[in-house]
């Protein structure tokens, strides 16, 4: 299925709230991604995404509307050569091959725009589809930490997947 990554705009508010307000998405996200997802939270998110240059959080546009998001979050201090990857996609578009491609594009974008050598993601243990997305996009499992996340009243394993700049062919950067 065709999609494109692009900066978020104020006109994305309606589709953002429509798609983000989904427990099946929120249950696999950090608590900063709320449920229910309100218009006020959408406005605050869109204002926040407009502050970064280059933008580090992009919309995933599918069929003409923002149907998900993907972001690179550069780290600081001794972690400054690393960035965390986060993403979500509207449920109607799950299983259509969008996310592995979007992750690969965002990895290239991250290595092009920031002085980083490693991009990592930390899916929850039960989130097998997200783990498969990362594996299809060239990430490798570096660690499994037992019951480090606390979400929705239960402890969950934290998986750490990563890809290194050296693993990306120079022609793709």
CATH number reported for the structural domain that contains residue 119 in this entry: 3.40.630.30
Number of domains in the chain: 1
Give CA–CA dist 77/99, Å, rounded: 30
The alpha helices in the chain, defined as continuous H runs, are 13-20, 23-26, 39-49, 98-113, 128-136
Structure tokens at 70: 């993907």
163 lies in which domain range?
4-172
- What would the pLDDT profile of 29-44 be if each residue is shown by its tens digit? 999 999 999 999 999 9
Of residues 95 and 171, the one with the higher pLDDT is: 95
Q: What is the pLDDT at residue 171?
A: 63
The mean per-residue pLDDT over the stretch 64-73 comes to 98
Q: What is the pLDDT at residue 139?
A: 97
Give CA–CA dist 103/109, Å, rounded: 10
Q: Output the CA–CA distances (angstroms, integers) from residue 139 to 52, 128, 168, in the order listed.
A: 26, 14, 11
Q: To the nearest whole percent, how much of the chain has pLDDT over 90?
A: 95
In the block, tokens 């959408």 appear at 42
- Sheet containing 118-121, strands listed edge to edge, beginning at the edge strand earlier in sequence: 4-7, 57-62, 65-74, 82-89, 118-121, 154-164, 140-151
Which distant-in-sequence residues (6+ apart) come within 8 Å of 12 by Cβ? 46, 59, 65, 66
Give CA–CA dist 83/165, Å, rounded: 11
The answer to whether 113 touches 121, Cβ cutoff 8 Å, is: no
In the block, tokens 């499992």 appear at 141
Computed over every residue of the chain, the mean pLDDT equals 96
């Amino acid at each position: 299925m065709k999609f494109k990554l692009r900066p978020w705009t104020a006109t994305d508010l309606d589709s953002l709230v429509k798609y983000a307000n989904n427990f099946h998405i929120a249950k696999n996200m950090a608590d900063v991604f709320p449920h229910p997802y309100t218009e006020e939270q959408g406005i605050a998110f869109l204002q926040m995404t407009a502050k970064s240059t280059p933008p580090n959080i992009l919309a995933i546009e599918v069929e003409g509307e923002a149907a998900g998001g993907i972001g690179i979050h550069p780290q600081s201090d001794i972690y400054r050569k690393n960035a965390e990857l986060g993403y979500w996609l509207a449920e109607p578009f799950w299983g259509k091959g969008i996310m592995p491609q979007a992750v690969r594009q965002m990895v290239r974008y991250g290595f092009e725009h920031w002085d980083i050598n490693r991009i990592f993601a930390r899916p929850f243990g039960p989130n097998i589809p997200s783990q498969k997305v990362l594996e299809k996009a060239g990430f490798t499992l570096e660690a499994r930490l037992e019951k480090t996340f606390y979400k929705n009243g239960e402890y969950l394993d934290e998986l750490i997947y990563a890809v290194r700049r050296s693993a990306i062919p120079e022609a793709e950067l």
